[in-house]
Amino acid sequence: MKEMIFVGAVVAVIGALALRFVFGAGKIPRYHRKPVLLGAELDFFYLLQRALPECHVFPGMALAALIEPQGMGKLRMSAYERIAARRVGYAVFDKEMQVLAVVELSPSRSRRRESKKEAYLASAGIRTVHFHPGQFPSEARIQRTILANSPQSPAARMKVHTRIHFARRESGRVKTPWRNTLNAHR
């Protein structure tokens, strides 16, 4: 009787190992390409590119690529976890790769969900602009809305150009800000 139980256990273990080998426990999972944008989102992306030819438009950027939490330790990790899995519709950058605005293509009923994300962006000084997916704005309205208070406006453009020109004259290249993670709580 004990021999039968032992043989049964050995057969079960060998069977389990064989099933694992056959069904590919060690194989790399297969993937297929996924389109980044479809339908209205793709049409709106092309509209943004036409309306803002001097800007770079990136769809579906991770929120954590645009902002980072302040603080240290558990507080910083907790704040990071709030933004880690979130994405923005479109991020608009100027030629110097400074964020001008985040554009969301969202109906008014989903804006309540987006309010936290908008608050996180606002705390970092990034504007969020909403457009309704069923009613695309004109190219002129997009330009007025996004470039109105941005460094791309004519008055601000002169200040930015002067600042960049002065920085290049001093060092030969534009200096980018250093991220001080040790004193991030200030």
Average pLDDT, the chain: 78
CATH number reported for the structural domain that contains residue 135 in this entry? 3.40.1350
d(C-alpha 180, C-alpha 126), whole Å: 20
Contact residues for 86 (Cβ-Cβ < 8 A; gap 6+): 62, 63, 64, 117
Greater confidence (37 vs 178) lies with: 37
Note whether residue 118 is domain-resident: yes
Q: Could you tell me the pLDDT band of residue 30, with boundaries at 50, 70 and 90? A: confident
**Minimum mean pLDDT range among 65-74, 85-94, 99-108, 144-153:** 144-153
- pLDDT of residue 163 exceeding 70, the answer is no
Note whether residue 72 is domain-resident: yes
Note whether residue 178 is domain-resident: no
d(C-alpha 57, C-alpha 49), whole Å: 7
Note whether residue 23 is domain-resident: no
Note whether residue 33 is domain-resident: no
Note whether residue 174 is domain-resident: no
pLDDT 10s digits, 94-148: 999 999 999 998 876 556 667 888 999 999 999 999 988 888 899 999 999 998 8
What is the count of structural domains for the chain? 1
Note whether residue 101 is domain-resident: yes
Q: Could you tell me the pLDDT band of residue 155, with boundaries at 50, 70 and 90? A: very low
- pLDDT of residue 158 exceeding 50, the answer is no
What percent of the chain shows pLDDT beyond 70?
A: 69
The pTM (predicted TM-score) of the whole model is 0.65
Greater confidence (21 vs 152) lies with: 21
Domain extent for 72:
39-148
Specify the pLDDT at position 157.
45
- pLDDT of residue 85 exceeding 80, the answer is yes
**Minimum mean pLDDT range among 10-14, 17-21, 107-111:** 107-111
Note whether residue 111 is domain-resident: yes
Q: Could you tell me the pLDDT band of residue 26, with boundaries at 50, 70 and 90? A: low
